[in-house]
Amino acid sequence: MAGTGSGPALAPPTQVRALGPWRAAAAQARTTLRILAADRSAVVGMVVIGAFVLVALLAPWIAPYGPFEVAYASDGGVARLSPPSASNPFGTTNQGMDVFSQLVWGTRVALLVGLVSAIGSVIIGTLIGLVAGYFGGWTDDVLMRLTDVAFGIPFLPFAMVVISISRPSLPLIIVLVVFFLWRTTARVIRAQVLSLKERPFVWAARAAGASDFKILFRHVAPNALPLSFLYVAIGVQTAVMLEAGLSFLGFGDPQVQSWGIMLNAAFRAGAMRSAWWWVLPPALALSAFVMAVFMISRAYEEVLNPRLRKA
């Protein structure tokens, strides 16, 4: 992606050293918000993500039914494959479950998987990249060879084998996604640290007697964190798509209701064409979520690379 090849522009080493890491981070956060607010696509993305967050938080009050609760028709029978109506605005499934309620509860799963997986993978990848890039030598060789091995493992076949051996669960899916996502972050952060550790402010800190731990986490890490934040956004959309893909293939957690599980249930019931109201809502929600995160991450590239900003 554009911008990942250049160093953070808002918090140069001299600024971080002059203001301190916390004050510099606060100043950079304000500048970042100002840049994002000036980008229309980023604003749209943030509004969409904000709407999803609001739906997830208010799910018990928004959803008229539970995630696996059956809806009944006025005659007392199960409302099977009922088209959209006043009582069921998005229709029902072949088992009489309210599609709108499933969609609302699935928003919680999407946000949980996206945030936890992205944050976990970025923390692991950032720490590995920092250590490998700063210390170099055999430490760098060992960590990067492990990263190469991780890159050689395809996600879907590996995840399906692991889930088949163990019992499908949401925590297991999150662990698998984290195992898949940390690799790219580690590579990018390592490349950034290789450049940062040759800057004069690192030499000055080392000449002043600062320990490697202090130099790494007080002086080098704050200048690499903007790239980590970018990969949090990228990781959220990737994690949501991976969970949806696994669930659609039948390897999702049967104890929760997610957008991928909704699509899998519709596919198994042979309703992909006949019951459009069952398929369209989760597909559109998944697309809207991924596109909104992409618009935010695309605008965030202007934070990393000032040359991308409009005059």
Q: Answer whether residue 281 is part of any domain.
A: yes
The answer to whether residue 294 sits within a structural domain is: yes
Amino acid, res. 276: W
Question: The domain that contains 166 carries what CATH number?
Answer: 1.10.3720.10
Q: How confident is the model at residue 257 (pLDDT cuts 50, 70, 90)?
A: very high
Confidence check: pLDDT of 311 > 70: no
Specify the 3-state DSSP secondary structure of 168: coil
Q: What is the pLDDT of residue 283?
A: 94
Tokens 């402010």 sit at which residue? 201
Asked if residue 15 is part of any domain, the answer here is no
Q: In angstroms, rounded to a whole number, what is the distance separating the alpha carbons of residues 292 and 302?
A: 17
Identify whether 200 is part of a domain.
Answer: yes
The answer to whether position 23 is within a domain reads no
In a domain, 276, yes or no: yes
Domain count along the chain: 1
Domain of residue 108 covers: 31-308
According to DSSP, the residues that pair with 70 across neighbouring strands are 97
In order of 150, 169, 188, 210, 308, the CA distances from 129 in angstroms are 14, 30, 7, 21, 26
- Residue 11 included in any domain: no
Give the rounded percent of residues in the chain with a pLDDT score beyond 70.
87
* Alpha carbon 206 to chain centroid, angstroms: 36
| Residue 75 forms part of a structural domain | yes
**What is the structure's pLDDT at 138?**
93
CA gap 128, 130 in Å, rounded: 6
H and E: helices and strands count for the chain: 13, 0
For 179-236, how does the pLDDT look when each residue is reduced to its tens digit (9 = 90+)? 999 999 999 999 999 988 888 888 888 888 888 888 888 888 888 888 888 899 889 9
Nearest to 173 by CA among 104, 108, 244: 244
The label of the residue with tokens 């499908």 reads 168
Largest Cα span, the chain: 83
Residue with tokens 């690799």: 183
